[in-house]
A = this chain, B = another copy of it.
Amino acid sequence: MPGINKFAKLTSVESALQALLNLCSPIGRTVKVDLEYADGRVVSRDVIAPRDNPHYDVCQVDGYAVRACDTAGCQGGRVLRPAAGGQVGPGTYVQVHTGGALPEGADAVVRMEDTDPADGGRLFYNEVKAGENVLARGSILRKGDVACAAGVQLKPTDIALLAKLGLTGVEVFERPRVLIVPTGDELVERGKEPGPGTVNESNGIMCFLFIKRYGGKPALYDIVRDDPSMIAEALKMGSRYDLIVTTGGTSVGVRDRMEEVVSRMGKVLVHGVALKPGRPMGIGYVESGDRRTPIVFLPGLTEACASTMLTFVVPAIRKLGHYPPLHPRREKARLTRGLPGFPGANAFHKLYIEGGMATPVPLMGGAPRPGDYVYAIVPESIEKYEEGEEVETVYLE
């Protein structure tokens, strides 16, 4: 029977990931979004400051605007008089608030607490230099400066800066559009009662949530039977997307038709990766006219679907969407039990963290309880991590 031993030779995780990323060109489509929706989005072209920031000379403390020269040598106490008409002249001051405009004629501000009331005005004890406690117009940004460079993934403080500059929206890259195609004769829709041999579809919703969480715009196709023409129809629809992710049908059984269909519609570059669970995964593209749409076909086993989603699809989405690398927390933890490797493949494990100790748990199927779940990989070169050994864990999901 052809193909039975095809997974005897597996592509390394690194090579497979590289093959996928080579297929994924960062998307060029952009969209202008209101600032309320800009958090986490990636700026698609330099934002130019439409005005100086600040756009006036700003008093930085509550106090009194003065001419700095009037405070020279005033430490013993010097009385200045309130200015008339809001304009500061020799020997006078105007009361100001933090954030207010520096009155005409003044070049510095003295803090309220460095003065005292006095007959006919206030006593000043602190010498200030010109510009002291003043934020000069344009000192942060000049009109025409780049206020936020293309490629920045916006955070709330960045967006506050844009709002300060008078902007209400920003041009960002569209989120990569990903079509998820769950396949399998055994699948029944979510919420319907399955019989023996059939199961509720769950990989699709899981992929949907992963893709959304990491910056993609997922669309979930209906369940597709293990029928090449129906799969082909779905993939044809998928060629309008930036990435196609299918689940199921990737192994070597008679109902595993994914490789055959992808080969016919484009090319399979990788089938079988050194990741356990996850070995039957494939990578390729489908062609439609001039357009090549990358496709990742994930195994139907939910554990394998999750491990390959995190290992391959998430980085692909990050690249497509111009996103910077993720920064999941990584921590050492000591194993309460041994963690087996797998000959010829990286073994992907889930661990439950409690008091710095890591207990291996099933990738799926345990009943989750509150607390921290992390992931750890046993490289193929290692037979087993021993109980009590310290391993690197990552807060991946």
Residues of A participating in the B interface, judged by any CB pair closer than 8 Å: 1, 4-5, 35-36, 38-40, 53-56, 62, 97-101, 112-113, 117, 140-141, 145-153, 155-161, 163-168, 184, 186, 190-197, 199-203, 205-210, 212-213, 251-255, 300-302, 306, 324, 327-330, 362-373, 395, 397
Q: Specify which chain B residues have a CB less than 8 angstroms from the CB of A153 in the assembled complex.
A: 370
In the complex the two chains form, what is the Cα distance from A362 to B141 in whole Å? 12
CB-based contact A196/B163 at 8 Å? no
Q: Enumerate 8 A-B pairs (CB-CB under 8 Å) in ascending A order.
A: A56-B195, A62-B254, A101-B196, A140-B362, A156-B209, A164-B202, A166-B193, A324-B371
CB-based contact B5/A202 at 8 Å? no
- Which 3 A-B pairs have CB atoms at the shortest separation, nearest pair first? A101-B197, A151-B370, A163-B202
CB-based contact B164/A372 at 8 Å? no
CB-based contact B364/A184 at 8 Å? no
Q: When A36-B208, A255-B97 are in contact, do A168 and B186 touch as well, CB less than 8 Å?
A: no
CB-based contact B151/A166 at 8 Å? no
CB-based contact A368/B148 at 8 Å? yes
Q: Specify which chain B residues have a CB less than 8 angstroms from the CB of A140 in the assembled complex.
A: 362, 365-366
Q: Specify which chain B residues have a CB less than 8 angstroms from the CB of A159 in the assembled complex.
A: 205-206, 209
From the candidates B202, B213, B328, name the one contacting A39 in the complex (CB within 8 A). Answer: B213
From the candidates B55, B100, B147, B395, name the one contacting A194 in the complex (CB within 8 A). Answer: B55
In the complex the two chains form, what is the Cα distance from A149 to B202 in whole Å? 19
CB-based contact A100/B373 at 8 Å? no
Interface of A is mostly: loop
Sample of 6 further A-B pairs with CB below 8 A, known A97-B254, A163-B202: A38-B209, A99-B300, A99-B301, A151-B369, A151-B370, A157-B206
CB-based contact B1/A112 at 8 Å? yes
CB-based contact A202/B161 at 8 Å? yes
In the complex the two chains form, what is the Cα distance from A301 to B328 in whole Å? 31
Q: Specify which chain B residues have a CB less than 8 angstroms from the CB of A254 in the assembled complex.
A: 62, 97
CB-based contact B156/A306 at 8 Å? yes
Beta-carbon nearest neighbor of A331 in chain B: B327
In the complex the two chains form, what is the Cα distance from A362 to B139 in whole Å? 12
CB-based contact B167/A39 at 8 Å? no
CB-based contact A164/B62 at 8 Å? no
Beta-carbon nearest neighbor of A154 in chain B: B368
CB-based contact B160/A301 at 8 Å? no
CB-based contact B324/A200 at 8 Å? no
A146, A195, A254, A327: which has the most chain B beta carbons within 10 Å?
Answer: A327
CB-based contact A367/B148 at 8 Å? yes
Q: Specify which chain B residues have a CB less than 8 angstroms from the CB of A1 in the assembled complex.
A: 112, 117
A367 → B minimal CB distance (Å): 5
In the complex the two chains form, what is the Cα distance from A252 to B98 in whole Å? 10
CB-based contact B160/A206 at 8 Å? yes
A290 → B minimal CB distance (Å): 30
CB-based contact A99/B186 at 8 Å? yes
CB-based contact A395/B327 at 8 Å? yes
In the complex the two chains form, what is the Cα distance from A249 to B202 in whole Å? 51
In the complex the two chains form, what is the Cα distance from A203 to B35 in whole Å? 12
Q: Specify which chain B residues have a CB less than 8 angstroms from the CB of A146 in the assembled complex.
A: 367
In the complex the two chains form, what is the Cα distance from A149 to B369 in whole Å? 5
Beta-carbon nearest neighbor of A206 in chain B: B160
In the complex the two chains form, what is the Cα distance from A203 to B161 in whole Å? 9
Q: When A159-B209, A205-B163, A255-B97 are in contact, do A141 and B324 touch as well, CB less than 8 Å?
A: no
In the complex the two chains form, what is the Cα distance from A53 to B302 in whole Å? 13
Q: Specify which chain B residues have a CB less than 8 angstroms from the CB of A371 in the assembled complex.
A: 324
Q: When A148-B367, A163-B200, A368-B149 are in contact, do A253 and B53 touch as well, CB less than 8 Å?
A: no
A72 → B minimal CB distance (Å): 24
In the complex the two chains form, what is the Cα distance from A44 to B258 in whole Å? 40
